[in-house]
Amino acid sequence: MLSALRSNLANRFATWALRVRPPEAVPVVLSQRRVYVLPSRAGLLYGVSLIVMLIGAINYTLSLGYGLVFLLAGLGVATILHSFRNLAGLSITVGATLPVFAGDTARFPIILHNPDARPRHLLRLFLPGQAAMPVTVPPGGSARVLLPQPAPQRGWLAMPRVTIETVWPLGLIRAWSYAAPALACLVYPQPASAVPPAPTFSGIEGGLLPGDSGDEDFAGLKRHQPSDPPHHVAWKAVARQGPQAPLQTKQFAGTAAQALWLDWDMLPPRMDVETRLSVLTRWVLDTEAAGLSWGLRLPGQEIPRAHGPDHTHACLRALALYGG
């Protein structure tokens, strides 16, 4: 009950402290009004110790005791200024995110820019509930940090609020700020672990496939037979599915282009949407690993036959955003 209340209050404060409605346009500048300062646990203990020392100096009328207390108090006040200046004035931009599969960890690239001639020491950046990533920004330079965030489901994963904090130089003061730059990561469906082998041919079409030379063209996959040549085994497809997966053999054709389609309607009618997307994702990866030209058919969408990284990304993107 108490932890939930604290979490709710912290979220309310962070929403207010952002000063703007997220997501923010980049660059995000940490102005003085966006930097907050409070004593750390060590700072609170330091303050209590000074009070005890001051009481002792008063009780025993120790002049050197007064001097020591005031010297240490002045050091603490100077620390507040240095901790505050370590954050104020930084600007934040973002980099490009790489797509991940559902169940993996997305990594959001944050770039800190330091406009001053002094370095920014021992900064820590983290997303809610995630580990902090330390970084030091050089004078007049920039530093890049990858912030991890679990990606539990397919689609677009927006980066949550970022916390930037520092306890430099003495650990007595915690200065922090919040930022919510506009950044999202594309999450592909999770590939199914155990699926039927990818389909071979769904039809015959005249002409040549793009890039075909006419002889020894890939035509599809079939279940491996003991008589098949070992160098025709689709080893990459087997490696992706795991050691328990059945072996598959690449088939070759002549000049007639045989159309390989990964079709939504090939799957059992009672299979739910997410399972269908997972199976199709596995087929996409295995078929591309086999070096084939292939196309993807979804309800209301068809991606023409091709091959290569760009084609694979286009098909996985369509699967990730299906129904969205």
Digitized pLDDT (tens) for each residue of the chain, 324 residues in all:
677 777 777 777 777 777 677 788 899 999 999 999 999 999 999 999 999 999 999 998 888 999 999 999 999 999 999 999 999 999 999 999 999 999 999 999 999 999 999 999 999 999 999 999 999 999 999 999 999 999 999 999 999 999 999 999 999 999 999 999 999 999 999 999 877 666 664 443 433 344 444 445 555 666 666 645 665 677 666 666 666 667 777 666 543 345 688 999 888 888 899 999 999 999 999 888 888 888 999 999 999 999 899 999 999 999 999 987
Report pTM: 0.78
Nearest to 176 by CA among 123, 139, 221, 135: 123
Is residue 279 a contact partner of residue 252, using CB atoms and an 8 Å limit? no
Q: How far is CA 79 from CA 33, 86, 143, in A?
A: 19, 11, 24
Q: What spatial distance separates the first Cα and last Cα of the chain, rounded to whole Å?
A: 36
Is residue 99 a contact partner of residue 109, using CB atoms and an 8 Å limit? no
Nearest to 147 by CA among 129, 164, 130, 135: 130
- Give the full edge-to-edge strand order of the sheet including 105-113: 28-29, 91-94, 105-113, 142-150
Q: How far is CA 66 from CA 57, 152, 176, in A?
A: 6, 58, 32
pLDDT digits (tens, 9 = 90+) for 166-193: 999 999 999 999 999 999 999 999 999 8
Q: Give all domains of the chain, ordered by start, each with its CATH number.
A: 2-188 (2.60.40.10), 203-320 (no CATH)
Nearest to 257 by CA among 323, 190, 208: 208
Nearest to 285 by CA among 269, 301, 262, 265: 262
pLDDT digits (tens, 9 = 90+) for 44-89: 999 999 999 999 999 988 889 999 999 999 999 999 999 999 999 9
